[in-house]
Amino acid sequence: MPLYRLLPGILVLPCILLACAPVPPAAEAPAQPAPVPLPPTLASNPGMPQFAPTDLVNEASALTQRFVGTLLPTLQGAIAVGGPVGAIDVCAVEAPRIAQVLSEESGWEVKRVSLKARNSSMATPDGWETQVLNVFDLRQRSGEPPATLNVAEVVNGRFRYMQAQPTMPLCLTCHGSNISPEVSSALARKYPNDKATGYQEGQIRGAISLSKQM
């Protein structure tokens, strides 16, 4: 084999050896993840990369999955048993109860929020939640799959996390634009200031919002 064909190998070998040389341990290797950097403001950062410790993100994400995983079958069961009108009362009792049980179990504050709240006393978003919900809407409209939308951020020493709740076909019975007269009047009786109708499939109905003191 001519020498010029061997040359690259001869040159590359020492480089590989150097690259593989064991890296001496850092003098003070941090046991904990690096401190959370302060994120840019939400307004100027619509993509909102996650500036948060991954263990908290994982914990929050698992809690939102438990919330939905408990509420959805409860809702479906209630509709099967008592129809949508009966399910309204179940939803009104069960959703806050699940949120409370998860809060007590985990030490996180767990709630649901929406830009168009049905239960305005429980689901009205604060300033940060409003910004995140607006960003969710923007991202959903620009084509991102709504079920994947979540945001984690540390705000004033509190870890905050939100997971978008997309409108599925089932939700339209009580949140859509073609609601039956019986459901409409039952909703009007219970929620005179209801804003949570007129949704289409795929739109963001709201979010599960979690927070925990760091």
- Report the alpha-carbon angle 46-50-54, nearest 5: 165
Q: By C-alpha distance, which of 47, 60, 51, 59 is closest to 33?
A: 51
Min dist CB 144 to ligand HEC, Å, is 17
Min dist CB 86 to ligand HEC, Å, is 8
Q: Judged by CB under 6 A, does residue 146 bind ligand HEC? A: no
User: Judged by CB under 6 A, which of 57, 92, 101, 147 binds ligand HEC?
Assistant: 92
Q: Judged by CB under 6 A, does residue 122 bind ligand HEC? A: yes
Pattern 26-65, ligand HEC, x by CB under 6 A: ----------------------------------------
What six digits make up the tokens of 93?
Answer: 């009792």
Q: Given the rule CB under 6 A, which of 1-9, 27-35, 143-151, 167-175 is the region that contacts ligand HEC?
A: 167-175
Which of 49, 198 has the CB closer to ligand HEC?
Answer: 198
Q: Are 114 and 208 in contact (CB under 8 A)?
A: no
Which of 53, 161 has the CB closer to ligand HEC?
Answer: 161
Count, residues near ligand HEC per rule CB under 6 A: 26
User: Judged by CB under 6 A, which of 42, 52, 98, 117 binds ligand HEC?
Assistant: 117
CB within 8 Å of 37: residues ≥ 6 apart: 51
Q: By C-alpha distance, which of 50, 55, 48 is closest to 33?
A: 55
Q: 207: exposed, middle or buried (C-beta count within 10 Å: 0-12, 13-18, 19+)?
A: buried
Tell how many helices (H) and how many strands (E) occur in the chain. 6, 4
d(CA 188, CA 18): 73
* Alpha helix (H) residue ranges in the chain: 3-20, 54-106, 120-123, 127-141, 172-175, 181-190
User: Judged by CB under 6 A, which of 64, 74, 150, 173 binds ligand HEC?
Assistant: 173
Q: Judged by CB under 6 A, does residue 139 bind ligand HEC? A: no
d(CA 103, CA 101): 5
Q: Judged by CB under 6 A, does residue 162 bind ligand HEC? A: no
Q: Judged by CB under 6 A, does residue 88 bind ligand HEC? A: yes
Q: Given the rule CB under 6 A, which of 39-47, 135-143, 152-160, 166-174 is the region that contacts ligand HEC?
A: 166-174
What residues line the site for ligand HEC (CB under 6 A)? 75, 84, 87-88, 91-92, 95-96, 112, 114, 117-119, 122-123, 165, 167-168, 170-171, 173-175, 196, 205-206
